Every structure is written in structure tokens, then in C-alpha cells.
Amino acid sequence: MSTTSDAGPLAPGVTPTRAVLSAVGVHLPEDVRDVAAAERALAQRSPGAVPRVPMVSRLTGVRQVHVLPADWDASDLAVAAAAKLLAAQGLAPTDVDLLIFASASQDMVEPATCHIVAAKLGVRAPVMDVKNACNSVLNALEVAEALVATGRYATILVACGEAPSRAVRWDVPDRATYVLSAPGYTMSDAGAAVLVRRATAGDQQAEGGPRGILASAFGAESSHWDVGMLPGGGTAHPRDVDRTYFEIDGSRLREAFLALGPDVILDALARAGMTWDDVALVAVHQVALAYLDDVHDALGLPSGRTIVTVAEHGNVASATLPLQLATALETGRVGPGDVVVLVGLAGGISIGAMVVRL
């Protein structure tokens, strides 16, 4: 079993190399749930606690969500996306120097889910989990970039398996519980994978500018950690079944996000030497269709540069940015040489922005 990278460290005096996002893959479960229909069924089961009119689908614009198979776990979603990506790139699991499982979801508290993903995928390399709510994938890319730059690894696979549907509460005893549970009805399951590799001479000399991660910036306002929680399973509530469901104050979470402002995003652009005129696509985390205009205004995002996925696919947590990037690539919205900005927003709360030339 390999316990160290074959890439080796950089020689003294060698300039750190750029990390390239060379491929992205997504797996969406075939089973879908109609949000409005699910709300109506819930209202019949919990009269008085749940509005008879489907409010969540109406207020968020989310029409349907994906639901993983009953015998699947978060690791299976990650493996499905990663296997698809490796096959498309003509790579074997043995070509991976490091596997990072990046997700808000996890199979269990111990061991780290990265081990389960690696075992199912056949990867025999060092592994780790990176977890920061809906910014898990973006933070994993930050870690991967740094490790590639130091020469520690040459090929890093970031695998994500989001299964938030398992933590959505459908047994609603009263209106207060419904209010905390309702934002979870837009949660959706998905797998995603991103391949990060060391730039080649060809990448560095690509027409239009060098390929890869050009710059990034991150920030957090951690005093808002309690506006969105999944409290059970840790030391705070180790065996309280009622705390194993999402508890989200939707209005407070929205206010916290809007208060973040555009500084982190503008900082990333400035570090990359870019303006919005240079950007072909802004992939931004999406929790509701109705919030997008507010988010665009608060963060200073240009109109017409985003792609909407939340209406048809729901809130897929940290798989959102890979989903949007994969969709843009598949539909021809972006291609080689284009600059994209990945904007992450996560409970806790945190914000991140990464400028990438494809």
C-alpha cells in the first residue's frame, strides 16, 4: 500500500506549480421527489402543523429533488461520480495520489468517509476528509491546490457524496418544528468529483493565459454557527434522535448570507488580476431560486453569468458548484480557456471564492 506520494517535494528554489481543475463529474440519483406533492402529503399527515398550501416549493422555486436509493450511503454517491470521472479521463484508481472526501454528509462518525470511498473505488493512496457544510468541496479544492503547489501530490481526486435527504424530518408534531424543518424539504442528494492535477508546460503556456486555479479568497462569520444545524451524533447530542434532523432558521440564514458582502469575491478577482468582464461563468451556491437576485445584488455578481440548477435539482449542498460547472461544460456555456468563478456559501457561516481558468 502506498503511504506517500510518488510526486515528491519540490526541489529547493523551484517555483510552486499551478493546480489545474482538469475534470469534473456528477452523479444525480434517478429517483426524484416532487416538492409540492411531498408538502401536500405532509399536510395531510400533520394537519394544523403544516400549511395546506405547498409553501416551500412556492417560496423557494424548487420543483423537485433527487433521492438516493435506500441501500446507498453518501460514499456510494461519491464513488458513482468519481468512477464516472476516472473512466472518462482514462485513469485507473491507482493513478490517484490523494483522495479527499469533501461533503457535509458522511456515512458515520468514524471512520472518516474517505476510507470507505477509497475502499469502494479501489484507490490505494493517502486519504482525508474535508468538511465545512456546503463549502466542503470548495475548501477541498483549496487544500488540493496547496498540496499540488508544494509538490506533495500530482493528482488529487476530490470526491463528494451529499445525502441530506436522510436528515430531513417528515414527522412534524407542531408548527414550530415545521418552521425549522421546512428548509430541509429543498435538500437534494448528489455525488460529485473533481480532478486536480499539477499543471504541465502546455497548461502554463495555454493560449489566453495559464490554465488552473488563478486565485482564491475565503472568509467566515462564525458567530452565526447556530442558524443552521444538524445537531445530533456529536458530543452535544450523542443519542438524541430528535436532534438528528436539520434545524434551520431560514430567515436568519438568509440575512447572515446577505450581510457577508462582496469583499471576499472581489479580493479573489483582484488577486487573479481579473474583472467581471473577464469572467464567463459565476457558479454560486444555490439554496432557493427566490434568493438568487438578492445574493447577486449583495455579492456584486454580474447578471447573466450564472446558471440555475436549484429549481430542477434542489439544494445539493457542497455538490452544487461541481454540478453547475459540469452543466455549463456539457451545454457549451464554457469551454477550455474560459475563466470561471466558484462562489461558495455555507452554514457556520462561511464564504469562499475561487478564480479558475479552464
53, amino acid identity: V
Q: What is the 3-state secondary structure (H, E, C) of 67-98?
A: CCCCCCCHHHHHHHHHHHHHHHHCCCHHHCCE
Strand boundaries in 201-276, DSSP class E = 212-220, 228-229, 247-248
For the question of residue 237 being annotated catalytic, the response is: no
For the question of residue 135 being annotated catalytic, the response is: no
Q: Which residues contact 52 (CB under 8 A, 6 or more apart)?
A: 40, 43
Q: Which of 241, 234, 230, 219 is nearest to 187 (CA)?
A: 230
For the question of residue 315 being annotated catalytic, the response is: yes
Phi, psi of 246 (to 5 degrees): -60, 140
Choosing from 27, 114, 134, 224, the catalytic residue is 134
Distance CA 217, CA 39 (A): 39
Cα atoms in the Cβ-side hemisphere of radius 13 Å centred on 331: 11
As given in the structure block, the three cell numbers for residue 107 are 456515512
Strand boundaries in 104-211, DSSP class E = 127-130, 155-162, 190-198
Choosing from 66, 115, 224, 285, the catalytic residue is 285
C-alpha of 335 from chain center: 21
Between CA 10 and CA 17, with CA 16 as vertex, the angle to 5 degrees is 100
Phi, psi of 262 (to 5 degrees): -90, 5
Strand partners, 24: 194
Grid look-up 454517491 returns 77
The Cα-based distances of 57 to 68, 182, 258, 336 in angstroms read 20, 10, 21, 36
Q: Tell me the catalytic residues.
A: 134, 285, 315
